[in-house]
Amino acid sequence: MGSKNYRLLIILGLIAFVWNGCKPDEEDLPDTFTGAKVLIANQGNFGWGEGTLSVYYEGSGTIDNEVYKRVNGESVGNVFQSIAKVEDKFYFVINNSGRLVVADTGFKKIDVVDDFISPRYFYQIDEYKGYMTDLYANKIYLMDLASNTSTAVLPTNHWAEKGVIAGDLFWYTAPATNKIFSLDITSDQFKDSIVVGEKPESIIRDKNGVIWVLCKGDESKNESAKLTSVRIEGGDITSRSFDIKGVPTSLAYDKESHSIYFLSDRIWRFRPDEDNAPQSWVQVSDAEFYTVAVNPASGDVYVSDVKDFVSKSTIYRYSREGALLDEFSAGIIAGDFFFP
């Protein structure tokens, strides 16, 4: 072997030795992603932006952004509306792209369903089927969970938004009306409707079976925003409403503390067993609140501040007592939280 080649081998060997000596062992690397996961659907700008998936880890307080794109090498689509899960599959609802993306627990794409016009929220009804609401279709799609296909449409004649299951009925909001409507989940036939207030948007069902609906109100009809409760016992329906100032949005429920949260100029809380009306809970100066959600495991309250709708969102995480636990950045227009 020539002297030049010999010297070159010695130099390369020294470089490798120094590199391996300076590089920390795998087990010595800090684990920056620990604890329960919180999935965040960032809508992205309507028409021209990309929706993104963020994953927040409660234990370490760290955020992993653009997870779906990194795993799949492509965008999830435009206006990432909501997240659902059926067994070991995530259902990503992509509103403006008119699609449902099915992914595994590692967020790898399995299937894409393009049967929709403007899908909003997916609800598993039983082990065989689910319902998909839609903004413009004037129908609810009946989904076969085994094949990930739309097998039928249930005409509504209105925009169907969010829903809850109560016994054999699926109750959903219709924001272009003043009512909530019900579907019999056995026959997939429409059953009833209840007047709750103008522009009902969000809906939850509490631990006592009472349905709560957040209504935005309608100034043109001189109708204020409302938080309305509906109790259905046998054939009897009783309701009560609380007038709300401003235009509220988003509704969340903590079963453990029996507390309801919603957003307007601040975060509001209502405890049906303790409060006579919704109470101011947390204020953040200049925040553009968009979505509130409660982690059912911890009771922590998550709120998105979407700022000017083109900048990255700020997420606030609060304890049940209202203490700020964390503050971090997610994607553009953080619009839905999901707790696996």
- Give per-residue pLDDT as tens, 2-30: 544 445 444 444 444 434 443 333 333 23
Residue pair 282/326 in contact by the 8 Å Cβ criterion: no
Structure tokens belonging to residue 228:
């309305």
Mean pLDDT of 221-240: 92
Q: Which residues pair with 56 in a beta bridge?
A: 38, 63
Task: Find tokens 């960032």 and name the residue.
Answer: 42
Nearest Cα neighbor of 211 from 220, 199, 198, 202 is 202
Q: List Cβ neighbours of 306 (8 Å cut-off, separation of 6 or more).
A: 288, 290, 313, 332, 333, 334, 335
What are the E-state strand segments in 196-323? 200-205, 211-215, 225-233, 236-244, 249-254, 259-263, 267-270, 279-282, 289-294, 301-305, 312-318
The pLDDT, as a whole number, for residue 20 is 42
What's the pLDDT band for 49 if we cut at 50, 70, 90? Answer: confident
> With 70 as the cut, is the pLDDT of residue 63 above it?
yes
Q: Please, is 29 exposed, middle or buried when counting C-beta atoms within 10 Å of its C-beta (0-12, 13-18, 19+)?
A: exposed
Cα angle 308, 251, 249 (rounded to 5 degrees) comes to 35
% pLDDT > 70, the chain: 91
What's the pLDDT band for 193 if we cut at 50, 70, 90? Answer: very high
What's the pLDDT band for 209 if we cut at 50, 70, 90? Answer: very high
Region of poorest pLDDT, from 18-22, 106-110, 122-126, 224-228: 18-22
Phi, psi of 219 (to 5 degrees): -60, -35
Task: Find tokens 């307080």 and name the residue.
Answer: 61
Tell whether the torsion through CA atoms of 320, 322, 324 and 328 is positive or negative.
positive
Mean pLDDT of 97-110: 98
The pLDDT, as a whole number, for residue 32 is 84
Mean pLDDT of 190-210: 97
Mean pLDDT of 270-299: 97
The pLDDT, as a whole number, for residue 92 is 99
Chain mean pLDDT for the chain: 92
Residue pair 162/173 in contact by the 8 Å Cβ criterion: yes
Region of poorest pLDDT, from 37-41, 47-51, 112-116, 140-144: 47-51
Tell me the CB-side half-sphere exposure of residue 72, using CA atoms within 13 A: 22
The pLDDT, as a whole number, for residue 2 is 52
> With 80 as the cut, is the pLDDT of residue 251 above it?
yes
Mean pLDDT of 84-109: 98
Residue 89: CB atoms within 10 A of its CB come to: 15
- Give per-residue pLDDT as tens, 153-187: 999 999 999 999 999 999 999 999 999 999 999 99
Residue 303: CB atoms within 10 A of its CB come to: 24
Task: Find tokens 């080649």 and name the residue.
Answer: 5
**Higher pLDDT residue, 55 or 15?**
55
Cα gap 223→10, rounded to integer Å: 84
